[in-house]
Every structure is written in C-alpha cells, then in structure tokens.
Amino acid sequence: MKVSIDDVVLPGDYCEDIVNAGEKSKVILGPGLRKEIDKVYITKSGVLRKRAPNTYWVDSYQKRYVPSRAENVIGVVVQKAGDTFRVDVGGSCTATLSYLSFEGATKKNRPEVQVGDVLYAKMLIASKDMEPELVCVDSHGKKGRLGVLNDGFVFKCSLNLVRKVLSPNCPLLNSLKNEWPFELAVGMNGRIWIKAKTMRETIAVGNAILGCEYLSDSEIKSMCTNIASLLAGHVS
C-alpha cells in the first residue's frame, strides 16, 4: 500500500514521497525503512515520521535491542577474556570492550572492572556482520560520563520509553529533578540506571519513568507532582 508521512504504516507499504525527495537531494533513511531497487519500503509497523530537511524513520514499538553505532548503552560485564571484557548489552551477542578503552588505561595500568559491574559505554562498532564493540572514552581519550556505574539500581524497559524519556520535549525529567536530587543514566538499549539518596527515592524515580510510557505530557506532569507529594508525605 502507498503511504505518506505521519501515516500508520505496516511492513510492505511503500512511500513515494521519499523517492521523490530523493531525486532532488540526499535522503537519510532511519530505522524501519529500506530501499529496494526503485521503491522505499517500510519494514516495521508504526508511524512514518519526517524531520526536515530529509530524514525519515518509522516510530515503532520495540523491546529487543539491536546495536547501532554511537549510541550510549548500559551493559553488564559478564566475562574477562584476554585483554577484553565481554559485556551484555541486551543484543543478540555480547559486546567486547578493550582494557585500553578506558581513560588513562595502558597495558600496565589496567582499569579496575570486575565481572558483574554495570557500565555506561558508547557503541564504537555495530554492524550486522561484526561483533559490537564498546568504548568508555570519547575520541579525545576522556571518559566524560562513561564508565563504571557504582551502586544504584538498573531496570529494563522498552526502547520507546527510553527515547521518550530522552526526548527534549518530555517533561518527565524536568519535573522530577526539581522535586529531589538523583543520578540517572539512560542506555539506548532499554536499560536505565538510577541512584538517589534513599531506596524510596530510587524506587519513586523508577516508577515514575515506567509509569509515563503511555501518558501524555500533562499527565506526566501531574503524575510527577503526585509522586513527589506522596514521597514527601511519608517522609514527614
């Protein structure tokens, strides 16, 4: 079936607008789109979106993570193998992380990472043909926010929720951060790490995030104040 932007799409549909746009200038095909000979076909169900000038993608629901380049993810170290760590990021196979890709690490000065540690890392290599590879430094060799996440609490959610939480328009984090202090790391692989002062606060943040999956912006705001008052009420 022929579809256009902002339509509900199913795999097998095709979009001529994209092809037409492609004739004039370069087009970026995001997730859920695939070019076959002369047509652009939809491969995932959801809503077809466009961002000016020429970026197209399908907003779809997904839980399973498929590694893609330059995304920040949260992983768990499952094995030390030679001079690399194997990290579970929720994809089809474990990702590798070299001992050397930590800030200031050399062959002699190895980073202190144990099996079971939670890491916030960046996808360096991710392609269907290769084993994904992570790094904990940026291109300047600085660690920035990447590295081992100590303490705190990790939970899983759908990939859509992660994108929603990270979206600049989403009021959730803005509302929550005014209520009480906490640390948060969001991995694009559907894992979220939270660290707050008390267990109660941690759970409150977690519930707030999980709760907002199907809520609108205004509902999120009211939910946040709700949680905050509940929490404050019990504390006092």
Q: Which residues bind other proteins (CB under 8 A)?
A: 1, 8-13, 32, 34, 37, 41, 43-47, 59-64, 66, 82, 84, 92-93, 96, 98, 125, 128-131, 133, 159-160, 213-214
Helix (H) or strand (E) holding 87: strand 84-88
Minimum distance from residue 126 beta carbon to other proteins (Å) = 12
| 95 close to 86: Cβ distance less than 8 angstroms | yes
Please, which residue, 14 or 180, has the CB nearer to other proteins?
Answer: 14
What is the number of other CB atoms lying within 10 angstroms of the CB of residue 51? 10
- In degrees to the nearest 10, what's the CA dihedral of 31, 153, 214, 165? -50
CB-wise, 23 or 129, nearer to other proteins?
129
CB nearer other proteins, residue 125 or residue 228: 125
Residue tagged 């404050």 (tokens): 232
By C-beta, is 39 or 195 nearer to other proteins? Answer: 39
d(CA 133, CA 153): 24
What is the closest distance, in whole angstroms, from the C-beta atom of residue 158 to other proteins in the complex? 9
Nearest approach, Cβ of residue 93 and other proteins (Å): 5
CB 153 within 8 A of CB 206: yes
Q: How far apart are CA 141 and CA 139, in angstroms?
A: 5
Closest to other proteins by CB, 21 vs 100, is 100
Helix (H, G, I), strand (E, B) or coil at 180: coil
In whole angstroms, how close is the CB of 199 to other proteins at the nearest point?
23
Nearest approach, Cβ of residue 198 and other proteins (Å): 27
